[in-house]
Amino acid sequence: MNEFVATVVRGLGNGSIYALLALGFVIVYKSMRVISFAQPAFMMAGALLVSYFVLSMNFFLAVVVALLLTALLGAGVERLALRPMIGKPVFVIAIITLGVDIVVRTVVNAFIGLDIRQMGDPWGLQQVDVLGVKVDQRHLATLVTTLIVVAALFAFYRWSRTGLAMRAASSDQEVALAQGVSVGRVFSLSWALAAALAGLAGVFLSTGIGLEQNLWLTALKALPVIILGGLDSLGGAVVAGLSIGVVEALVGSYGGDLHPIFGGDFFLVVPYLLMLLVLLVRPYGLFGTKEVERI
Amino acid sequence: MTARTGRPLLYLSYGQDMALLNTSAKRGWTLVLAIGAVALPFLLTDDLLVVLATACVASIGAIGLNIVTGYGGQVSLGHAFFLGIGAYTAAAISGDPDSTRLIGFGITSVPIWLLGAGLVAGLAGLIVSPLAARLRGLYLAVVTLGLVFIGEHIFKHWKHLTGGVGVGRPAAVPELFGIQFAVDGEVFTKAQKLYLLMLVLLVIFGVLARNLVRSRVGRALAAVRDRDLAAEVIGVDVTRYKLIAFAVSSFYAGVAGALLYVMIGFVEPGSFNLALSVQYIAMILIGGVATISGSVLGALFITLLPRVTRELPAVLPFISSSSGSGGITVFQVETILYGLLIIGFLIFEPRGLFGIWNRLRTYWKSWPFSH
């Protein structure tokens, strides 16, 4: 039983990372109707900046500074590469973000180098006893931080003026423009937010195990998450993120007895299989808005 | 024909207008191009020929992707998966039948394993296509991306077929009418023979694709791409044509995958990843969406890019040719250039190399008038 609970907590920890990443995807999607494939690059950039800043300052301060810079990077990318493409087919814009990802990630990789970079975080791989169950501190920290960030984000969208503007722009850009919402600012802000969230996910992903070049593949797991939760649903992203994390952890722990043809790392493809299954039944994900077609 | 002698661009029937080579300029230049392509093996060194042969194969794959993404408008990031299926089917059909480690049937004749690879990949495409028929736009892109990950996982673990990670297996053996293409012969070297084989195959598959897209199927696909609802209203069976697009595209991918590793002689299961899919997307975007000649141009461009950047350290001393020593390496420059090219082409020349060519052609055609 204890092992089961520990596995679930590990899954929730990883799941919160997916949720953070997925939130970034959803925020960009809501504002631009585009899936930004540049999120992995922002994730790596955020983690990389922290790993350099901790050499000269406190970890938490380093995270704040690094995330601000990552947000700036996101807004800059949007201004340079995405703004000229407004009104073009979404597929084209999505491919541009792929190009951005390749460029930014290559630069980041050059700074990471071939070795694992330490994050200098206070948690490391230490464990803590919660009601008799041993869980990694970093997983708890991730979960708690994610919950706080998600609550803040929802409050921002629900109650702040800018959040209202963002919701308006997402539901109809032209009408929002006519009401005096600066849609361009909304785009910048969305990209900045998405980049910062990805950066935060990157920081938590590389706490304990350290930052290395291949970590970017984890960011792609947010794709099945957003498809599962529905591309335009913030709540869906969180729910789907946490559940995929838990399912993945459970398969990782207990799936070893499956047929050897699945291989020991079968849990790595579980998110994608889940996504395929759900899509066969519900083409717009669990919480996504069904597209209404006008003739 | 008398009416055409004085006015070469006057078409008297739909057939003339839709002909493959509908202008005398096209006829002339195609002849020049064909002669040039056949003469190349005797002018270039072997290492360049291998690169060109790879470009020919990549062109076949890019044409396949262009059929589904360019003409059909269904964004597929799963091309690498189908390339992988083709590569392994071909390798298994032509593999050593006595091997205890790997599946092999020992049939080394090119047409057999080529068709086998294409058909198996096409079948896989058909199996996947119901998803494609249900999903649209970016949902489809992400799902096909999921296919790549699932495929990569299967390739890594099905050791009897693929040899496993880091080990791999020998690629398909190219043999036709008793000629071994992958070994140096008395008259031709290995590279010359492979280049000519791939060139012939590219011409065959290129003409086939061109015929497909200028026929009923191609028009139906374009209608689905431009507005699927409108297409359905005028009587195009959208689901059926989406299935066709996916099956044909996967067939081409399978063929390309089967041939791609013949040059290297070796297939590694880790190579069928997202990066490979993106590479093919880049080819059709840089070459030109919804054009066959654009696909070929794009494939040439992307395949030759590493070759060109490798010459850079000689010109620009701050770029080093090996990793480890400080500064930026050729590989980093190559990747960054590749990403920047994708972004740049999409922003400044969305119609790709084909669009540039089109503009040049129009300029000279209407010279000295600017429009």
Report domain extents, chain A.
Answer: 2-223
Please tell me the predicted confidence (pLDDT) of residue A256.
Answer: 62
Nearest to A73 by CA among A97, A46, A50, A94: A46
- Chain A residue numbers with beta carbons less than 8 Å from the beta carbon of B281 are 95, 98
Token pair belonging to B189: 């070297």
Give the closest-approach CA distance of A287 to chain B in angstroms: 14
- Best probe of the B interface among A86, A95, A103, by most B CBs < 10 A, is A95
- Best probe of the A interface among B138, B238, B320, B338, by most A CBs < 10 A, is B138
Contact: A275, B158; criterion CB under 8 Å: no
Q: Residue B128's closest chain A neighbor by CA?
A: A276
Over residues A56-66, the mean pLDDT reads 88
**Least confident window among A34-43, A228-237, B159-168:** B159-168
Phi-psi region of B168 (alpha: psi -120 to 50; beta: other; left: phi over 0): left
Please tell me the predicted confidence (pLDDT) of residue B82.
Answer: 93
- Best probe of the A interface among B69, B131, B139, by most A CBs < 10 A, is B139
Chain B residues with at least one Cβ partner in A under 8 Å: 75, 131, 134-139, 141-143, 145-147, 149-150, 153, 156-158, 229, 233, 274, 278, 281, 285, 323, 328, 332, 335-336, 338-343, 346-347, 350
For residues B300-313, b (16+ Cβ closer than 10 Å) or e, as one string? bbbbebeeebeebb
Contact: A280, B136; criterion CB under 8 Å: no
Among A99, A273, A293, select the one facing B229 at the smallest CB separation: A293
CA–CA distances in Å: residue B75 to residues A94, B69, B107, B334 = 10, 5, 35, 25
Token pair belonging to A7: 């596995």
Distance CA A210, CA A225 (A): 24
Q: Which helix (H) or strand (E) holds B36?
A: helix B24-39
The DSSP 8-state label assigned to residue A56 in this structure reads T
How confident is residue A82, by pLDDT bands cut at 50, 70 and 90? confident
Please tell me the predicted confidence (pLDDT) of residue A152.
Answer: 93
- Chain B residue numbers with beta carbons less than 8 Å from the beta carbon of A34 are 138
Nearest to A290 by CA among A241, A230, A209: A230
CA angle at residue A188 from A185 to A194, to 5 degrees? 135
For the cut 70, the answer to whether the pLDDT of residue A215 exceeds it is: yes
Distance CA B221, CA B306 (A): 34
In which residue are the tokens 């694992």 written? A116
Token pair belonging to B128: 């996947």
- Please say whether the beta carbons of B198 and B56 come within 8 A: yes
Please tell me the predicted confidence (pLDDT) of residue A21.
Answer: 92
Q: How many CB atoms lie within 10 A of CB A111?
A: 13
Nearest to B336 by CA among A69, A91, A108, A70: A108
Give the closest-approach CA distance of B38 to chain A in angstroms: 35
How confident is residue A263, by pLDDT bands cut at 50, 70 and 90? low
Please tell me the predicted confidence (pLDDT) of residue B309.
Answer: 80
- Please say whether the beta carbons of A121 and A59 come within 8 A: yes
Q: Residue A102's closest chain B neighbor by CA?
A: B339
Please tell me the predicted confidence (pLDDT) of residue B1.
Answer: 47
- Chain A residue numbers with beta carbons less than 8 Å from the beta carbon of B131 are 276, 279-280
Among B136, B336, B346, select the one facing A96 at the smallest CB separation: B346
Give the closest-approach CA distance of B64 to chain A in angstroms: 18
pTM of the model: 0.88
Summarize pLDDT for A159-197 with one digit per residue, the tens: 999 999 988 888 888 898 898 888 889 999 999 999 999
AA letter at B334: E
Contact: A96, B347; criterion CB under 8 Å: yes
Distance CA B224, CA B233 (A): 11
- Chain B residue numbers with beta carbons less than 8 Å from the beta carbon of A293 are 229
Q: Would you call the peptide bond into B368 cis, given omega within 30 degrees of 0 as the criterion? A: yes
Q: Residue B339's closest chain A neighbor by CA?
A: A99
Distance CA B146, CA B155 (A): 14
Token pair belonging to B174: 């190219």
Give the closest-approach CA distance of A242 to chain B in angstroms: 19
Q: How many CB atoms lie within 10 A of CB A258?
A: 12
Q: How many CB atoms lie within 10 A of CB B343?
A: 22
pLDDT tens for chain B, 371 residues: list them. 444 566 767 778 887 777 777 777 788 888 888 888 888 888 888 788 888 989 999 999 999 999 988 888 888 888 999 999 998 888 888 877 777 777 777 777 778 888 888 999 999 998 888 877 777 777 888 888 888 888 888 888 887 777 777 777 777 777 777 677 767 777 777 788 888 888 989 999 999 999 998 889 999 999 988 888 888 899 888 888 989 999 999 999 999 998 888 888 788 888 888 888 988 988 888 888 888 888 999 999 988 888 888 777 777 766 666 555 556 777 788 888 888 888 888 888 888 888 888 888 888 888 777 65
Q: How many residues belong to chain A?
A: 295
Contact: A279, B143; criterion CB under 8 Å: yes
Q: How many residues belong to chain B?
A: 371
Give the closest-approach CA distance of B259 to chain A in angstroms: 27
Please tell me the predicted confidence (pLDDT) of residue A3.
Answer: 79
Token pair belonging to B138: 């970016």
- Chain B residue numbers with beta carbons less than 8 Å from the beta carbon of A94 are 75, 138, 141
